[in-house]
A = this chain, B = another copy of it.
Amino acid sequence: MPEEVLRQAADEMLDWHGSGMGVMEMSHRGPEFMQIHAEALLDLRELMQVPASHQILFLQGGGIGENAIVPLNLFGSKPRADFVVTGSWSQKSQKEALKYGAAHIAATGRTEAGFTHSPPKSEWQLSDDPAYVHLCTNETIDGVETFEIPDLGDIPLVADASSHILSRPMDIAKYGVLYGGAQKNIGMAGVTVVIVREDLLDRSMPICPSAFEWKTVAANNSMFNTPPTYAIYIAGLVFKWLKRQGGLEIIEARNVEKAKLLYDTIDASRFYINKVERRARSRMNVPFFLADETRNADFLAGAKARGLLQLKGHKSVGGMRASIYNAVPLEAVKALVEYMKEFEAKHA
């Protein structure tokens, strides 16, 4: 989280803008929170350049919640969807969708080395008339990001962008639905942003819970049930911070610089390995392996001694992983690269 956002939240904790109450104490239907909510929506629409064809909803349940909420909202008339599986998260999405209908794997990025590819559209084997095609546009565990978004004509593309939303501009018009939990680049855990094309709001299954039915949520301006007001407020502060930085083009340039520094270091070395094809390398999550994995514990201990934390890869893939979300400064990546070079020089 950007420090200035946290400072502002602390300053306003007991009294928001002279209202005499903190945001946590506001009624979600009162004029103060209505303003916070409206501004958050407007700022997000501006930042992501969300076209008028798409609504922005605030839900609860995160990306994993959406694994069920998406089919519950889109399987109404066509209970079959296609999945492009590029890593652990899209795999989970496909599995959960099986509860509600057919979930066809149209393509997989899995190779003998794990999930290392984002298959291009030419390799997708779509089923006949699917309700939608699902894609996780950034896979945190495997470090696979999808940059090329194909045009699927009438088939809605649904993207789980939880872990890289707001890291770069995205052409929202290409997506039927784009969603993201807040805990990576948006703010605090507890709110899920769902951007949905309006014509997709009438496709829910009768068993879709009202609180998670996009049509119902949209008709009530995300206030069908009490929204996670404080999480929306914090997200709004982050949106304003992103605007002050200059918007998503500037943020993208920073993220490109941070990622390049790390990947260049890995590529220039025989000591570190990243297995992901270059065109699909994530700018948010950089997994890498030591060629000699017996040195893993040493590497992590040395990193910890320098304050470089949370570098251990996910247990399902092993190795290392650097997560360099928006709020991670370039200096932190420089410090990591410095350490990696020194560790290599000492042990290679």
Contacts and interface: CB of A to CB of B under 8 A. Distances in A.
Interface of A: 1, 3, 6-7, 9-11, 13-14, 22, 24-25, 27-28, 30, 60-65, 67-69, 72, 96, 99-100, 181, 183, 187-191, 206-212, 224-231, 234, 310
23 contacts: A1-B25, A6-B13, A6-B22, A7-B14, A10-B13, A24-B189, A30-B310, A60-B190, A62-B211, A62-B225, A64-B224, A64-B226, A65-B212, A68-B210, A68-B211, A68-B212, A96-B210, A100-B207, A188-B229, A188-B230, A189-B228, A189-B230, A230-B231
A63 B226 CA distance: 9
Contacts of A22: 1, 6
Copies in the complex: 2
Contacts of A224: 64
A225 B63 contact: yes
Contacts of A212: 61, 65, 68
Contacts of A100: 207
A207 B75 CA distance: 13
B189 A28 contact: yes
B60 A206 contact: no
Nearest to A5: B24
Contact of A67 (B181, B189, B210): B210
B190 A231 contact: yes
Nearest to A30: B310
Contacts of A24: 1, 6, 187-189, 234
A16 B28 CA distance: 28
Contacts of A65: 60, 209, 211-212, 225
Interface centre among A61, A99, A100, A227 (most CB of B within 10 A): A61
Given A60-B190, A100-B207, 8 more contacts: A61-B211, A63-B225, A64-B210, A65-B225, A69-B209, A188-B228, A189-B229, A190-B231
Given A225-B62, A234-B24, A68 B209 contact: yes
A231 B28 CA distance: 16
